[in-house]
Amino acid sequence: MSTDMTIDWDVEVPMRDGLVLRADVFRPQESGNYPVILAMGPYGKGLHFEEGFPSYWRDMVEAFPEIAENTSNRYQNWELVDPEKWVPDGYVCVRVDSRGAGRSPGFLDPQSQIEARDFYDCIEWAGVQPWSNGKVGLLGISYYAVNQWHVAALRPPHLAAICVWEGFADYYRDKVRHGGIMNDFLDGWFNKQVVRVQHGVGGRGFIDPNTGYPVAGDDQLSEQELRENRGDPAGNVKARQLDGAYYAERTPDLSRIEVPLFSAGNWGGMGLHTRGNVEGFVAAGSTQKWLEMHGDTHFSPFYTDRGIALQKQFFGTFLKKEDNGWLDRPAVEVLVRHPGEKFTSRFEDAWPLPGTVWTKFYLDPHENALTNEPKSAEPVAYHAMGEGVRFSLPVADHAREFTGHAALHLSLSSSTVDADVFVVLQLFDPQGEEVTFIGSNDPKVPVGLGWLRASHRALDPDRSTPYRPYHTHKDPQPLEPGVPVTLDIEIWPTSIVIPSGYRLDLVVLGRDYKNSEIEIADAMYTTQGVGPFTHTDPADRPAEVFDTVNHLHFDPADPPYLLLPEIKAAN
């Protein structure tokens, strides 16, 4: 509990350019040298979880009461560890407000190279403090996971291990432009979640209940001064449709990561993190690396007893040299998803899962079915903003599992010079009702999602595989109206066991998937099945280009098909 900790508030951490960031340090009362769990980010180290996000906290604790047990909850912070559950086990927990956020001054520019350099300096500072054993581990959800990829690629000497819990890796493909299509998340996230705790908001903002200090610093700047002291992430993305230097600066070289790595991803994180956790695990240069894929919300798996036990076993191995069995753990654990929010754990030796049978299901427009043999047919038209075209996998009398990457191979023409293709995998029960799942940012997500702007269809042959197309997004190729082009569309990693009598559908359309809209208190958006990751910007998707009629083509020489990762020994 808190009485067993020594807490140092607003400790000054010097950066190499002379700026000082501020950190809170939670450490055991007994002097000694302890391993460090460090996180740095822009959400305000003094903003209490329950005050900043009350409905998320309430819903999480109602679903998992264990989260609020054995702690006073006084120091619960959004997407960070509860120090009352770590310090008693002999860890020092350090939270740093990143440059320009919270109580740290400076220019606010999230996920920039300067921020990664600051993170490096924080790690090196923590590694030589009198309470440190010289081993620093990084842990946190989302933003506090994403920037781990960046700093680990810089190889700070005192960094000993990273646990990337639901964190994307590719700024362009994972966060801001799905398949080249700009999503609506960035502007709302930055202005509603980050700017509210920008350094200089001062007493107009939140107050830290533990210190009485303003969460966003003692300085109180004018609105104009605040605007001048921060970047414009959404504006920068809107001005840059193609991948290039701006996105490269915010996308780490994963091959340079060499420290032990534990990547924990969420099947329901479609639209932000899922792809990055898998890509990061596969591409990291670390010789010791593990992947775990789970379900449920963005927060609960991190804070439950199971989540904390995994984190402590991993860090106990690499920060404390404990012989706790982690090194005997297989490289991959998948919590295979079943309808009804049921998951079964299975360990594997690699990703993609060994023994995966990459199975082609051909699109049959005659029966609107997914079949084992290709079918020739006349082109099928659909209105891009309508219900799209649906193809169903025939119902089986046995369970079938699909876990891993998926892809869609299409031939498509447009009546204009471009087309946005949205791909949805949906599950239906024997009564014909759609079965959705709790997602990380939406309570009702489908089985899988994929996106591609047709003019961005060019593939990188060195980085593409049949099950994971990789598009360059650097050389747009406009369509000639009425002339079909070949598209290979990535569908983000997924897992589903389809029970006997259930049906899997593929839907091809020109807009976002939608189910019933749900208002969630404190959320920055109305949920419709894709969280905040909608694609509706009229400047990015002008109606005269994208609100049009498309045609699917069925050439027997190049038939369209859905490629699924079938696991023959279905659970």
d(CA 96, CA 94): 7
Cβ–Cβ under 8 Å, residues 472 and 460: yes
Please give the C-alpha separations between residue 214 and each of 43, 51, 107, 197, 291, in angstroms, as whole numbers.
13, 13, 19, 9, 38
pLDDT band with cut points at 50, 70 and 90 for residue 571: very low
Does residue 2 surpass a pLDDT of 60?
A: no
Task: Give the pLDDT score at 4.
Answer: 86
pLDDT tens sequence across 40-63 = 999 999 999 999 999 899 999 999
* Terminal CA-CA length for the chain: 41
d(CA 173, CA 190): 18
Averaged over 92-99, what is the pLDDT?
A: 98
Task: Give the pLDDT score at 526.
Answer: 73
Task: Give the pLDDT score at 1.
Answer: 41
pLDDT band with cut points at 50, 70 and 90 for residue 386: very high
Does residue 541 surpass a pLDDT of 80?
A: yes
Task: Give the pLDDT score at 518.
Answer: 67
Instruction: Show the domains of the chain with their CATH numbers.
Output: 2-329 (3.40.50.1820), 357-567 (2.60.120.260)
pLDDT tens sequence across 315-371 = 999 999 999 999 999 999 999 999 999 999 999 999 999 999 999 999 999 999 999
Does residue 308 surpass a pLDDT of 50?
A: yes
Could you give the angle at which helices 274-283 and 143-154 cross, rounded to 10 degrees?
20
pLDDT band with cut points at 50, 70 and 90 for residue 270: confident
Listed in sequence order, the residues at least 6 apart from 309 whose beta carbon sits closer than 8 Å to its beta carbon are none
In a 13 Å sphere around the CA of 264, the CA atoms on its Cβ side amount to 28
Q: Among 17-21, 149-153, 296-300, where is mean pLDDT lowest?
A: 296-300
pLDDT tens sequence across 183-214 = 999 999 999 999 999 999 999 999 999 999 99
Task: Give the pLDDT score at 525.
Answer: 66
- φ, ψ of residue 20 to 5 degrees: the values are -115, 120
The β-bridge relationship of strands 400-414 and 561-567 is antiparallel
Averaged over 262-289, what is the pLDDT?
A: 97
Show the CA angle centred on residue 303, arms to residues 402 and 261, nearest 5°: 65
The closest of 295, 256, 201, 218 to 10, measured between CA atoms, is 218
pLDDT tens sequence across 103-152 = 999 999 999 999 999 999 999 999 999 999 999 999 999 999 999 999 99
Does residue 523 surpass a pLDDT of 70?
A: no
d(CA 425, CA 290): 27
| pLDDT more than 70, % of the chain | 98
Rounded to two decimals, the pTM is 0.96
Task: Give the pLDDT score at 527.
Answer: 79
pLDDT tens sequence across 479-504 = 999 999 999 999 999 999 999 999 99
Does residue 531 surpass a pLDDT of 50?
A: yes
